[in-house]
Amino acid sequence: MKYPGGILLKCIDEDQVAKVLNDMHARVCGWHLYWKATAYKILRACYYLPTLFSDTFEKIKACEQCQKFVGKQKVQSLPLKPVMSEKPF
């Protein structure tokens, strides 16, 4: 398989799928990213498997750490309150 830029991608078999997904999602290479970002990261690393997007989606959906913080980025911050100082700086 070729990446749109013409780079050949390395096809990985089912034995390596779990290792690559784990490395790109939760290990040194990953930061618990959204499933699409993780899938494209795997493609940029020149790996390919036919069920890349569905396997990545299932892996992220099963990740306990990702599910704990799934809505935290949507929480709005509280308004800032000015701090009054009695003495000038």
pTM of the model: 0.69
pLDDT digits (tens, 9 = 90+) for 40-81: 999 888 998 889 999 999 998 898 888 776 666 566 677 888
Separation between Cα atoms, residue 17 and residue 19, nearest integer Å? 5
Mean confidence (pLDDT) of the chain: 82
Give yes or no for residue 33 having a pLDDT over 90. Answer: no
Residue 10 in this model has a pLDDT that exceeds 70: yes
Q: What is the pLDDT of residue 56?
A: 92
Q: Helix crossing, 35-44 with 52-62: angle to 10°?
A: 130
> What pLDDT, on a 0 to 100 scale, did the predictor assign at position 57?
92
